[in-house]
Amino acid sequence: MVSWSDSKSTEGSAAQYISSDDSPVKIPATIDEPSFEGLADDLNMICEHGNLGRKYVAFEGISTGRRFIACATEVVANCGLVQWVDEHWPEYLQNAIHKLCLMYEDSQHNNTMACLEHSCTIHNLTQQKKELQKTYEKLVEDVNNLLDYKDSQPEVNQKNDAENISVSVESSMTKDAEIKKLKAVVDQLKQIHVAQATVIRNLKFNHLKEKEKLSSDKRTLEICYVDLKKEKDDLKKEKDKLDCCIAELMKLK
């Protein structure tokens, strides 16, 4: 666990040295915040590597928006979290942030499950297409064999003309039946192509819709962070005023 010296302010005092034991501390996910970034030279916080810590703003769970100082060393093992700058948010804000996080996780899970379902659908359609393609090729081969066989049969004599005509008519009927089967197979292939195109369009639409929803959730969290920061600044101003009043009262006594 990370430990640090007990001090309410680091201004005008020696740098605080932070050390950790063998148990690594998980640093939370962060968000870019131009007003709080770079090395914490103004806070004068030093990690166990002897280097200044780096400023971060958390973007994880109910700690979203809280500022903290973390080890800035990248070459060797990171010594973990140094110190939180902000206190825990009020309970009602923690509940709101927690609900937004749950909504975000549910949205991610639903999107993943939808993608898996659509992938299975496309896989099944592809397998059906392959099977129909094999059937189509087999029918084409059979028809070609029938036509080749018909062309290879010579006319024996004039006496067999009637029989040859009968066989020709029968072969023609067989050919028509095979052509109808081929046409049905082609129609099925076209329907599969249309179904695949529809599934792909739906996937793209759902992905764009989900992306817009996630962007909206992110904007909501960012707005919440701005509100929290403003509220914190206002509270700090009120505290400074109270400190001034207390100082004046102490002077009067």
Residue 100 lies in a domain: no
pLDDT per position as a tens digit, 60-110: 889 999 999 988 877 667 777 668 999 999 999 999 999 998 998 889 899
Instruction: Please count the helices (runs of H) and the strands (runs of E) in the chain.
Output: 2, 7
User: In degrees, to the nearest 5, what angle opens at C-alpha 74 toward C-alphas 71 and 78?
Assistant: 45
Q: Which structural domain range is residue 27 located in?
A: 1-88
Residue 146 and residue 41 share a domain: no
pTM attached to this predicted model? 0.42
- What pLDDT is stored for residue 160 in this prediction? 58
Residue 122 and residue 226 share a domain: yes
User: How do beta strands 54-57 and 67-70 pair?
Assistant: antiparallel
Residue whose token pair is 């739906």? 202
Q: Detail the DSSP E strand segments found in the chain.
A: 2-3, 16-17, 19-20, 45-46, 54-57, 67-70, 81-84
Residue whose token pair is 């509220």? 231
Total tally of structural domains belonging to the chain: 2
- What pLDDT is stored for residue 68 in this prediction? 92
Could you list the mean pLDDT of each consecutive 10-residue stretch along the chain, which spans 253 residues?
34 42 67 90 81 90 91 74 86 91 89 88 86 85 80 56 63 78 85 86 85 82 82 85 83 73
Residue 102 lies in a domain: no
User: 175 pairs with which residues across the strands?
Assistant: none
Cβ contact 73:49 at 8 Å: yes
H-type alpha helices, the chain: 91-152, 161-252
Residue 75 and residue 177 share a domain: no
Residue 49 lies in a domain: yes
